[in-house]
Structure 1
């Protein structure tokens, strides 16, 4: 064998030190040996040093334009977070060789990272066309099909991957994700455990199993999975964030808040928000006397309403000015919060302040525990002009009950938290003497046809913003809703609200096993689903409680 063949043989048999020595000896003889430069770069990639790999592979490319070199350059760039440059490298590789399966596969992985799942699907389909026996490609295709709402096709792809290689840990992990999404929780658990039996150091599988167990209320079993993932990779922010959610749901707020800051870490696979590029710093607890601060929006509308309770506390620390940036539909409502100086509904025109912060970081800075939640209600108010307008739209007499049965369809757990339609609430119609008011806005607004003859006052389609919602809810006797922003409007107003909560993926803020909310004491009551996907028993419980509530309310009149 010549020297290059000796180097390659050592590389292939897992002897990187010997391979590196041979490649370097070869380069001392021939400084333009492109293959030796490239494979030295591959060794650096395998050692977890992508920066060094990038330099070597770029040097190889100066001597020969090669699709394989370009693909490995893309991998090195991607490992350093240079995603745009990595994508360009993969696409350059495919210009050099349109049939290079590795380039299509790596491009597909990058497209998944950047949430372009439709393009990723096309890339993985090309891989399985070129290499129908590629287990990795079938597994990747199954993953992306599941993310694009094609569960039947996704399952077929993943089953095919496992037929090709039954001991492929990644395929079992991806199958577990799909099974969890389609409500087959016991089978999902088995799939994740199979992945971990094949590879006990599979960090993502530990995290995914933890998510599944946490979602079905088995927190004590879920926590060790997140902890193990972080032992294997302390920088794995997905596990850190998910561990914080579990601890929040179990009321361990002091432990949870610091890790909850991972939600805006750029390494999060599903990052919740992006840190702004302001010239002034994020507030991290510094003294605020005489300073100005801007509160930025994050996550859903309900989050912005729930954590607006901290604005008076911030002002109490001596702030000279506090501004709130929010979606226009929240502006008029948040203007009513004590301490707000400015409401900005154009995120592109925020003036300079001394500090900025996200609202869900405030509990950490205030050292909030379950026992020290700021609970002064109400902390938002209905504007007099809005009250007068909606008073004329509401029925004048009787007990008035607001209804919301669906949240926004873009919510990650909407499949579990929302009802199918208003007909699921039919048991409530059996309670006499009530007037039901639809506050449903957007999806599910077809209430008139679905209410099975039950008279319903339709207001949802007329609501313009949350100030309108507040003015209506303030004049209702009770609101019954799924876990959506309406619950926070009612709670922040201190108005009675009954919230229907799903068995899978219940939001951390409602804690576990409680029928009340320490965030909205005396206002919000919780009705929890007993069986996954089955609301019937829960709604019967609501109907029973409604009869008792109505009788009590009438006796007061």
Structure 2
């Protein structure tokens, strides 16, 4: 005899268990079955929204949350989830309304205040964003997301004493904390102790913050092991103070160090302020053999200007920070006496093979094996023009002139506010920011004018046109 068919309630509970276990396909199947039997089951709509959001199907997730609210408008958590999805879709006014509705139901809900803070931050309302994050922290003092969001606000504003402390709420290094058997370094004297420095976040973060290895040595550290992204391994061998380099694709021993630290806790433990950044440039170097190998592949005449117009597509703000295509840089082609070199890897690399008419380009991206190769090319350029991605940090670390094109929406905290320079890379980096509301055309026009002046200076007037 067949088993009796499952009830809507049983399917809902089974789907929710699957969701909590991370079985998204199973969760979706069971929740949809539950909704076929009970179309007004608000909680099933809400949980299906979570499944769809995890899959990146944000408009569909929003529709599920809205259906859930239609059938039961008394659940604060559904409004909070709706606000989170709307923020990712940049529907910020609607997200603010959803947070307000959650707070009307549960005024003391720290998650609702936290999401409201994110919505305000993305609207550019930094004071309101800070107040909302702080309200969440009054209600729940260790609220990790509120601390993390507050850290971004404070760091962007240059309020680094509190900013670095709040930034410690991130959980990017949880795997390493579980894996190694030595204590975490908390700033105590190092006196010859061996240290494992763990990688965090992206390759640009590693390039920017690896400078702190020298600071650890200066504080008395013994042998320092740096765990890094595999494409950085060869390059980071040139870093002063590092004794061993391990790619995170290699087997990492459990033991062998006296203490460990996440890379991006080092500014906090070094009490770094805007006016005390360890910024002696260059702190990375190209290998002489690679310089020689790459030299013949570079243009023999003109100013050598490198171009990078897209970052990694996996980055949350990539649509904002990357240019739509190489064609956006076409106005630069009007500057005489410049030879352009593409260092674009991955997304956008194909565009360099067929540049827009009028833009002469030497495309090297496909030949670059890792960042040691890229460093050998940048070392032989006059200038790099790049969006906010790892190659810009590499140019800065090499002490090479670099112009960075920055988005108006969610400008990264490390570029601070309204500055046209970077204290992380003094004397070599220049920032070109989108106007309020965004748009790349005015930025590229500014870069083209600056390149005209740069070329005139470097070429002593030769090749300059009026």
Q: TM-score, normalised by structure 2?
A: 0.91
SS in 1 for 2:427: coil
CA contact (8 A) 2:114 2:133 kept: yes
Q: Does residue 324 of the first structure (1) align with residue 251 of the second (2)?
A: no
* The structure with more helix, counted as a fraction of residues: 1
Quote the residue 2:245 is aligned against.
343
Q: Does residue 233 of the first structure (1) align with residue 143 of the second (2)?
A: no
Q: Does residue 407 of the first structure (1) align with residue 278 of the second (2)?
A: no
Note the alpha carbon deviations across 1:30-61, whole angstroms, 9 max, x for none: xxxxxxxxxxxxxxxxxxxxxxxxxxxxxxxx
Give the counterpart of 1:444 among 348, 351, 354. 348
CA contact (8 A) 1:108 1:124 kept: no
Q: TM-score, normalised by structure 1?
A: 0.76
CA contact (8 A) 1:326 1:347 kept: no
Following superposition of structure 1 onto structure 2, how do residues 271-420 of structure 1 map, counting pairs within 5 Å? 271=172, 273-274=174-175, 275-345=177-247, 347-350=250-253, 352-420=256-324
Residues 162 and 499 of structure 1: CA distance in aligned 2, closer, same or farther (over 3 Å): same
Q: Residues of 1 paired with 2:173 and 2:329: CA distance?
A: 33
> Whose radius of gyration is greater, 1 or 2?
1
Q: Residues of 1 paired with 2:182 and 2:85: CA distance?
A: 43
Q: CA deviation at 1:425?
A: 1.8
Give the aligned CA root-mean-square deviation in angstroms.
2.4
Note the alpha carbon deviations across 1:449-496, whole angstroms, 9 max, x for none: 353342111111111111111111111111111111011101111111
CA contact (8 A) 2:321 2:406 kept: yes
CA contact (8 A) 1:245 1:260 kept: yes
Q: Which runs of 5+ in 1 are unaligned?
A: 1-93, 265-270
Q: Residues of 1 paired with 2:441 and 2:9: CA distance?
A: 54
SS in 1 for 2:306: strand
Quote the residue 1:542 is aligned against.
447
Residues 126 and 553 of structure 1: CA distance in aligned 2, closer, same or farther (over 3 Å): farther
SS in 2 for 1:371: coil
Q: CA deviation at 1:118?
A: 4.8
Greater relative CO, 1 or 2 (CA 8 Å, sep 6+)? 2
Quote the residue 1:195 is aligned against.
102
Q: Residues of 2 paired with 1:272 and 1:414: CA distance?
A: 23
CA contact (8 A) 1:216 1:503 kept: no
Quote the residue 2:77 is aligned against.
170
Residues 544 and 196 of structure 1: CA distance in aligned 2, closer, same or farther (over 3 Å): farther
SS in 1 for 2:165: helix
SS in 1 for 2:179: coil
Q: Does residue 154 of the first structure (1) align with residue 61 of the second (2)?
A: yes
Residues 126 and 522 of structure 1: CA distance in aligned 2, closer, same or farther (over 3 Å): farther
SS in 2 for 1:103: helix
Aligned residues: 455
Q: Residues of 1 paired with 2:257 and 2:398: CA distance?
A: 30
Quote the residue 2:336 is aligned against.
432
Quote the residue 1:498 is aligned against.
403
Residues 120 and 528 of structure 1: CA distance in aligned 2, closer, same or farther (over 3 Å): farther
CA contact (8 A) 2:111 2:136 kept: yes
Residues 349 and 473 of structure 1: CA distance in aligned 2, closer, same or farther (over 3 Å): same
SS in 1 for 2:341: strand
Q: Residues of 2 paired with 1:137 and 1:371: CA distance?
A: 53
Residues 146 and 531 of structure 1: CA distance in aligned 2, closer, same or farther (over 3 Å): farther
Q: CA deviation at 1:127?
A: 3.7
CA contact (8 A) 2:223 2:243 kept: yes
Residues 207 and 319 of structure 1: CA distance in aligned 2, closer, same or farther (over 3 Å): same
Q: Residues of 2 paired with 1:118 and 1:544: CA distance?
A: 53
Q: CA deviation at 1:120?
A: 4.3
CA contact (8 A) 1:139 1:170 kept: no
Q: Does residue 129 of the first structure (1) align with residue 7 of the second (2)?
A: no
SS in 2 for 1:486: helix
Q: Residues of 2 paired with 1:344 and 1:548: CA distance?
A: 43
